[in-house]
Amino acid sequence: GSLLAATDLHKTYGPTPALDGASFSVHPGEVVAVMGPSGSGKSTLLHCLAGIVPPDSGTITYNGRDLTAMSDAERSALRRGEFGFVFQFGQLVPELTCVENVALPLRLNGVKRKEAERRAVEWLQRLEVDDLAGKRPGEVSGGQGQRVAVARSLVTGPRVLFADEPTGALDSLNGERVMELLTDAARSTGAAVVLVTHETRVAAYSDREIVVRDGKARDMEFAR
Ligand code: ADP
Ligand code: ADP
């Protein structure tokens, strides 16, 4: 069955709906690309699926639990415990070193500093940026920073990794390397990936693609 599924989502901010009947599903360990032009509703779909934005109507089920029926505290515990996030930019804390950034989610979950930093270094190694452990985000390149962000998103062992245009600020060579490392790392942990992108080259790293147009997501898998 599906790990995360949404049916007939509607969400309106202004005069035109951001989501207008969107359905979506992802299986454990599957990498799904959410594609479509700018403004089509991709980010809104991701934010609904991740429990960040409440839909006006529709259902969202994670592991058999109705996300829309949960309290804010339950949703926030779910995000912290089971979900990981990578965005386009601005996600690393500039005052912390790279290893401290990766260790941060573990520290927030109560893991002691030494153990958290040991696991953070392991993750930096897997993303091939352990040589940057002592540097601050301002001292590393865009591609290196995104690798650190991927390490941080997976260090807690999430079941779903939400990635919103993770390579949007990178040139194509760095973007492909980040996608290769991100999908390899996610697959090695069994995490499912919900990847928002408008680039075919980036979507090529997925197992399956869903196209969003005018807030309508066609999930062929789901329609079966
Ligand atoms: P992308 O197209 O890269 O996914 P965003 O999701 O940040 O970019 O924004 C898409 C569109 O949604 C933009 O036109 C932006 O102006 C609008 N938008 C995003 N967030 C807000 C907001 N909080 N208030 C008003 N408009 C927003
Ligand atoms: P995409 O990610 O495909 O670029 P979005 O989901 O960001 O699309 O946006 C879909 C539509 O919803 C756009 O018309 C955008 O302007 C609008 N929108 C998105 N977020 C907000 C927001 N927070 N406030 C107002 N409008 C928003």
- The interface predicted TM-score (ipTM) is 0.70
How far is Cα 194 from Cα 31, in angstroms, rounded to an integer? Answer: 6
Torsion angle defined by CA atoms of residues 71, 90, 178 and 161, in that order, rounded to the nearest 10 degrees: 0
How far is Cα 138 from Cα 95, in angstroms, rounded to an integer? Answer: 9
Atom of ligand 2 nearest to the CA of 38: 4
pLDDT at 96: 98
Which residue of 43, 164, 199, 216 sits with most ligand 2 atoms within 8 Å of its CB, as the best mutation to test the pocket? 43
Residues 6+ apart with CB under 8 A from 21: 8, 9, 10, 215, 216
Atom of ligand 2 nearest to the CA of 41: 6
Atom of ligand 2 nearest to the CA of 215: 10
pLDDT at 222: 55
Regions of the chain short of the pLDDT cut 70: 90, 220-224
pLDDT at 220: 61
pTM assigned to the model = 0.88
pLDDT at 25: 95
How far is Cα 214 from Cα 222, in angstroms, rounded to an integer? Answer: 19
